[in-house]
Structure 1
Amino acid sequence: MLQHSQLYEYHVWANDRLFAHLEQLPKDAFHAEVTSVFPSVSQTLGHMYLFEQLYMYVLAEAPNDDIFPKIPAWTEETQGKTLEEIRQLFAGVAEQFRDLLRRTPDPDKAMTIEHPKYGRLDTHFSDILRHVVNHGTYHRGNVTAMLRQQGYAGVPTDYMFYLLERQEGQR
């Protein structure tokens, strides 16, 4: 079974690769309007950031009454920001997430999530963490499509490339 911290480190690695790639492109590619799941790369990353914050609180077992009032502020944090500013927001939430993972000795601990729209889910910490990583993978794919619409290449962020890079670093 893949250790939960390694799975999250892959997620951070993939986001970092995407940020590094975006930094090499013209600045207007970040905010350019496209027809996609979100209207721009910057808004996609804003959504991803909101999701990271929200699910970090879910995994910390914060009550909905503490989580839902924070959503407008998390959304606002990314509005009109530069690529570097959003990258810093991601770095901050990654450190908070790592701290949560260090404080969670049992990644398979049972959890119950109550969602006001979708109902109750009896699950495990590790399942929700996989959901966070899968969500990031999905939206990094959206960003690749948005970049291609603008005439730019994407950047490979597949798990296999993460493993290869780690292996090279251990030699």
Structure 2
Amino acid sequence: MTNQTLKLYEYHVWANRRVFEHLHQLPEEVWSQQTTSVFPSVGALMSHIYAMDGMWLSVMQEAPFDEARALLMRLLEETKEVTLDELQERFERTAEDYRNFLASLDSNQAIAVAHPQYGSVQTPISELVQHVVNHGTYHRGNLTAMLRQCGHPGVPTDYMFYLYTV
């Protein structure tokens, strides 16, 4: 895999870690506090990011749609009531799974991704990594709005801030 793809993925890991570090500084009830937003709570939003990351890894490993969808639903169910610490551990394990998978690939490896509604597309795995990163970035923005609604600041996770740390 190209260094740029790996660097982009490491940004995603860094940003998620920053979020967890920030959430640990906030009152414990923020994790499950109900919000009027895209997700009903911070915990539900973080569960979604985690489950989608897991599902996309299975897609990159060429799991059929039905299998990837079943994994997504299982991961969402498993993390419905987890604590902040438990979900953080799951994020770390998933990051290690991604690293191991990405390290084993040719930089231009492409796969066919089939969807029952949208059809099939041949795409490099590096573009799927870009999608995972974009998805996480989008929802970390949702998180900032949710935290502000709960009376707490968000945490900066912009790519530029990551570049200052590497």
Classify the TM-score, shorter chain: over 0.9
Contact 2:112 2:121 in 1 (8 A): yes
In structure 2, how many angstroms separate the alpha carbons of the residues matched to 1:117 and 1:51?
A: 18
Q: CA deviation at 1:76?
A: 1.5
Aligned ranges for residues 38-49 of structure 1 at < 5 Å?
38-49=39-50
Deviations, residues 114-165 of structure 1 (Å, cap 9, x unaligned): 0112221222111111000000000001011000001100110000000111
Q: TM-score, normalised by structure 2?
A: 0.94
Q: TM-score, normalised by structure 1?
A: 0.92
- The aligned residue for residue 169 of structure 1 is none
In structure 2, how many angstroms separate the alpha carbons of the residues matched to 1:83 and 1:146?
A: 16
3-state SS in 2 of match to 1:39? coil
Cα-Cα RMSD: 1.3
In structure 2, how many angstroms separate the alpha carbons of the residues matched to 1:65 and 1:135?
A: 21
- The aligned residue for residue 71 of structure 2 is 70
3-state SS in 2 of match to 1:3? helix
Asked if 1:59 is matched to 2:31, the reply is no
- The aligned residue for residue 163 of structure 1 is 163
In structure 1, how many angstroms separate the alpha carbons of the residues matched to 2:143 and 2:21?
A: 13
Structure 1: which 5+ residue stretches go unaligned? 167-171
Matched letter for residue 93 of structure 1: T
Deviations, residues 33-61 of structure 1 (Å, cap 9, x unaligned): 11111111100011111100100011111
Deviations, residues 61-84 of structure 1 (Å, cap 9, x unaligned): 122243233233211221111100
- The aligned residue for residue 127 of structure 2 is 127
Size of the aligned set, in residue pairs, is 165
Q: CA deviation at 1:110?
A: 2.3
Structure 2: which 5+ residue stretches go unaligned? none
Contact 2:112 2:123 in 1 (8 A): yes
The structure 1 segments of at least 4 consecutive aligned residues displaced by more than 4 Å after TM superposition are none
